[in-house]
């Protein structure tokens, strides 16, 4: 029953990004508010120091308690330079990861997720090294909350945990921020999407496919071992 619920939860999450894309296309055609006005408001608010601090605190708090904080990417990346966006997102995500690591340490072995999340925990229990943690951080498909809590419960070395978090998320957030910022710039300037904008999108697709393949291998291998 738990496996079925975990799969159903993953299934609806897969449709979030396509749903946002469709929603964005509908808004682009309907345009209840002019694109220029939206971008102007976004730039005025999205580049304000108080707004960026607020978003960073929200990301850190949400990640600390195992809640989705990746939404902050969409509030920061479109309006700020990719380098700045990446730095801010990595700082906030790492702070949240450390909070979750400490928080999960008090849960002990009572925290036992099921389904795909449980398989991730099993892998980290058997092989919680720097490269494995880094790959999970960098590849889409591995929930950050599970990685954070599992690392805390298993008491993986803190230095390894932090290093993998910083390096993996720098690569991941860097690619995401570059792609989103490039698209926002193209829309604002009224230009067609150029080669520089397309490359990060291809990298995102490659990472997504790789993440799906790795997660499927993990699930298959764990199931095989258990059988």
pLDDT in tens, 157-200: 999 999 999 999 999 899 888 888 887 777 666 555 555 556 66
The stretch 43-55 carries a mean pLDDT of 87
Confidence of residue 22 (pLDDT cuts 50, 70, 90): low
Task: Output the pLDDT for position 166.
Answer: 96
Highest mean pLDDT among 11-25, 95-109, 151-165, 198-212: 151-165
Sign of CA dihedral 72, 74, 79, 84: positive
- Quote the CA–CA distance of 49 and 196 in Å, as a whole number: 28
- Find the angle CA(219)-CA(222)-CA(227) to the nearest 5 degrees: 120
- The residue with greater pLDDT, 82 or 9, is 82
- Quote the CA–CA distance of 165 and 93 in Å, as a whole number: 8
Task: Report the range of poorest mean pLDDT among 5-14, 78-87, 140-149, 199-208.
Answer: 5-14
Segments making up each domain of the chain, as ranges: 29-222
Is the pLDDT at 84 greater than 90, yes or no? yes
Among 44, 57, 99, 52, which Cα is nearest to 76's?
52
**H-type alpha helices, 65-194:** 72-76, 82-105, 115-126, 130-138, 144-153, 158-189
- The residue with greater pLDDT, 6 or 97, is 97
Q: Give, to the nearest 10 degrees, the angle between helix 82-105 and helix 49-64.
A: 30
Q: pLDDT over 90 for what percent of the chain?
A: 26
The stretch 52-75 carries a mean pLDDT of 91
Is the pLDDT at 49 greater than 80, yes or no? yes
Report the predicted TM-score, pTM, of the whole model to 2 decimal places: 0.72
Structure tokens that stand for 152 in this block: 């805390």
């Amino acid at each position: 029953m738990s496996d079925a619920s975990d799969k159903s939860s993953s299934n609806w999450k897969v449709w979030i990004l396509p749903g946002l894309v469709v929603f964005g296309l509908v808004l682009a055609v309907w345009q209840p508010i002019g694109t220029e006005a939206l971008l102007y408001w976004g730039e005025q608010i999205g580049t304000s120091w108080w707004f960026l601090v607020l978003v960073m605190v929200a990301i850190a708090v949400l990640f600390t308690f195992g809640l989705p904080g990746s939404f902050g990417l969409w509030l920061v990346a479109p309006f700020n330079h990719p380098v700045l966006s990446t730095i801010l997102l990595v700082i906030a995500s790492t702070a949240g990861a450390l909070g979750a690591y400490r928080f999960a340490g008090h849960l002990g072995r009572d925290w036992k997720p099921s389904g795909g999340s449980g398989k991730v925990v099993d892998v980290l229990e058997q092989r919680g090294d720097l490269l494995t943690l880094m790959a999970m951080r960098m590849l889409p498909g591995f929930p950050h909350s599970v990685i954070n809590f599992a690392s805390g419960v298993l008491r993986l070395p803190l230095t390894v945990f932090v290093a993998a978090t910083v390096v993996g998320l720098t690569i991941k957030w860097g690619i995401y921020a570059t792609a989103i910022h490039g698209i926002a710039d193209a829309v604002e300037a009224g230009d067609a999407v150029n080669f520089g904008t397309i490359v990060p999108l291809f990298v995102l697709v490659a990472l997504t496919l790789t993440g799906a393949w790795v997660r499927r291998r993990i699930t298959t291998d764990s199931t095989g071992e258990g059988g």
